[in-house]
Amino acid sequence: MNKVDVVVLAAGKGTRMNSSLPKVLHKLAGRTLLQHVISTVNCVSDCRIIVITGHQAEAVEKFHAQRNCIFVRQSEQLGTAHAVAMSLPYIRDLSNVVILYGDVPLVSLSTIEKMIEAVKEGQMGLLTAEKHNPSGYGRIVSNEEGSIESIVEQSDATPNQLKITEVNTGVMAMNSSQLKNWVPQIRNSNKKNEYYLTDIIEIARLNGCFIKRIQPNSNIEVEGVNNREQLSRLERSYQKYLANEFMLAGNSIADPDRFDQRGKLKTGFDNYIDVNCIFEGEVQLGNNISIGPNCHIINSIIDDCVEIKANSIVDSSRIKSGAIVGPFARLRPGTLIGEGSSVGNFVEIKKTTVGHGSKVNHLTYLGDAKIGPRANIGAGAITCNYDGSKKHETTIGENVFVGSNTTLVAPIALSDNSFVAAGSTVTTSVAQGQLAVGRAQQRNVTGWKPPKNS
């Protein structure tokens, strides 16, 4: 019996978030709470994923539509057992079933696999955790030998039960026939008149099933998110965990408390990250890279020995080895910076290739341009790529010198070894080796008298 059906509960409103957004659409490390759960489950082999939606179901389903899940609606949120009941028609015979909560986002694959193992051994698996402050969680009631007897929700617990520090994480596993037999037996006779999935534990025990206690590898796996304070605390502890992974792989971080990874970060080693950098989407780093403070790197590839100086933004771009970017540079999507090139302060580059060894060091906008190797683009040079309706390209060959404060009106080409005088407005292409001067002639007026004060 190797089939696995995973049920993810995501129908609740998340009242305690005080938000117009459903709770599972709130983000942790740049991904929705539900995305975290689904992408972990995607790694379970031979697995069907059933997501129970309800509150703002359309929004939740639309956001996760590309994921390979079956969405099942729970039209009224009558409790976690009622939510699981909605999944029963989609649970396959002879499968191992794992129940996960959309608001417990960081359960790991290895923990899920341990749960499945317990089911294969004929037991039921329950993921529990020790908490100094168990407030808000269901408490695990055990007998004298320490075996699990039942779960009692906080609102129904006696003062003595409230002292129990072993809590229910919500994650449990059993075989499909047990689930199908036991869920319909759950009643709503509790303080909140909800159908509590937690009642299944007592039913299992009364049916002679042993409940195996499984513990997480790390505490962040079992943190539930019910309000924004818990969300922000989980964000920090998850970031600390990601920062540790990054450091243990052989990289340095100036301050792991000021490091943010919102997506996948592939890395070599001996990279150095200064404070307050954000890595978003899919970022790939080579080796020996230095990234200064306050940089935002999004969906980009950074090759070996690159230096990105303070306050730079690199979005959907590639920076080749040995290049220097920043401080205060902005690389927009589609930019390629060649080997050993330099891009300095207040430079914005979009959909542009900069050849190797070129310099764009100050106050420049380059858009829709192709720049050859060893070109020098002076301070204040601008490609006028937009005529109000269409975008046009600028081509600059190798070893071209573009003087300061030049406007290049695209479409235009500056051939190899050409030279543009400072302050020019260039509207026609320049051939190889030519000098282009496109500025008003200077007049020096002799005998000029300044205006007098009246």
Cβ 224 to Ca ion, closest distance in Å? 4
| Beta carbon of residue 112, minimum distance to ligand UD1 (angstroms, whole number) | 16
The window from 26-34, 98-106, 205-213, 446-454 that contacts Ca ion (CB under 5 A) reads 98-106
Shortest spacing between CB 36 and ligand UD1, in angstroms: 12
- Three-state SS for the chain is CCCEEEEEEECCCCHHHCCCCCHHHCEECCEEHHHHHHHHHCCCCCEEEEEEEECEHHHHHHHCCCCCCEEEECCCCCCHHHHHHHHHHHCCCCCEEEEEECCCCCCCHHHHHHHHHHHHCCCEEEEEEECCCCCCCCEEEECCCCCEEEEECHHHCCHHHHCCCEEEEEEEEEEHHHHHHHHHHCCCCCCCCCCCHHHHHHHHHHCCCCEEEECCCCHHHHCCCCCHHHHHHHHHHHHHHHHHHHHHCCCEECCHHHEEEEEEEEECCCCEECCCEEEEEEEEECCCCEECCCCEEECCEECCCCEECCCCEEECCEECCCCEECCCEEECCCCEECCCCEEEEEEEEECCEECCCCEEEEEEEEECEEECCCCEECCCCEEECECCCCECCEEECCCCEECCCCEEECCEEECCCCEECCCCEECCCECCCCEECCCCCCCCCCCCCCCCCC
Closest CB to ligand UD1 among residues 224, 380: 224
Nearer Cβ to ligand UD1 (152/298): 152
Among 103-111, 184-192, 284-292, 402-410, the segment contacting Ca ion (CB under 5 A): 103-111
Q: How many residues bind Ca ion (CB under 5 A)?
A: 3
**Residues 55, 296, 356, 362: which is the catalytic one?**
362
Binding part of the chain for Ca ion, among 31-39, 72-80, 222-230, 425-433 by CB under 5 A, reads 222-230
Least CB distance to ligand UD1 at residue 194 (A)? 7
Active-site residue 362, yes or no? Answer: yes
Which residues lie below 8 Å from residue 156, measured CB to CB, with a gap of 6+? Answer: 190, 191
Partner in contact with 338, chosen from ligand UD1, Ca ion, none, beta carbon below 5 to 8 Å by kind = none
From the list ligand UD1, Ca ion, none, which binds 102 (C-beta under 5 to 8 Å, kind-based)?
A: ligand UD1
Residue nearest to Ca ion (CB): 224
Nearest CB to ligand UD1, comparing residues 153 and 315? 153
Residue 32 binding: pick among Ca ion, ligand UD1, none (C-beta 5-8 Å cut-off by kind): none
Q: Among 30, 224, 268, 423, which residue sits at the site for Ca ion (rule: CB under 5 A)?
A: 224
Indicate the Cα dihedral angle 337, 340, 345, 348, nearest 10°.
-10
- Between residues 83 and 310, which has the closer beta carbon with respect to Ca ion? 83
- As measured in angstroms, the least distance from the Cβ of 103 to Ca ion is 4
Cβ 181 to ligand UD1 shortest distance, Å:
19
Q: Is 103 in the site for Ca ion (CB under 5 A)?
A: yes
Question: Can you give the binding site for ligand UD1, defined by CB under 6 A?
Answer: 9-12, 52, 54, 74, 77-80, 82-83, 101-104, 137-138, 151, 153, 167-170, 196-198, 224, 226
Residue among 83, 84, 52 at smallest CA distance from 69? 52
- Nearer Cβ to ligand UD1, position 80 or 364? 80
Nearer to ligand UD1, 25 or 197 (CB): 197
Q: Which does 137 bind (CB under 5 to 8 A by kind): ligand UD1, Ca ion, none?
A: ligand UD1
Q: How far is the CB of 95 from ligand UD1 (least distance, A)?
A: 20
- CB-wise, 32 or 261, nearer to Ca ion? 32
Smaller CB separation from ligand UD1, 213 or 439: 213
Q: Would you give the distance in Å from CA 84 to the centre of its chain?
A: 29
Which range touches Ca ion (CB under 5 A), out of 67-75, 95-103, 232-240, 413-421? Answer: 95-103
The binder of 42, among Ca ion, ligand UD1, none, by C-beta within 5 to 8 A per type, is none
Please tell me whether the peptide bond between 216 and the residue prior to it is cis, using omega within 30 degrees of 0. no
Choose from ligand UD1, Ca ion, none: what does 11 bind? Cβ within 5-8 Å by kind: ligand UD1
Partner in contact with 71, chosen from Ca ion, ligand UD1, none, beta carbon below 5 to 8 Å by kind: none
Half-sphere exposure of 212 (CA within 13 A, CB side): 16
* Dist. CA 297–CA 261, nearest whole Å: 10
Smallest gap from Cβ 94 to ligand UD1, in A, equals 25
Integer Cα distance of 57 and 61 in angstroms: 6
Q: Which residues bind Ca ion (CB under 5 A)?
A: 103, 224, 226
Q: Could you list the active site residues? A: 362
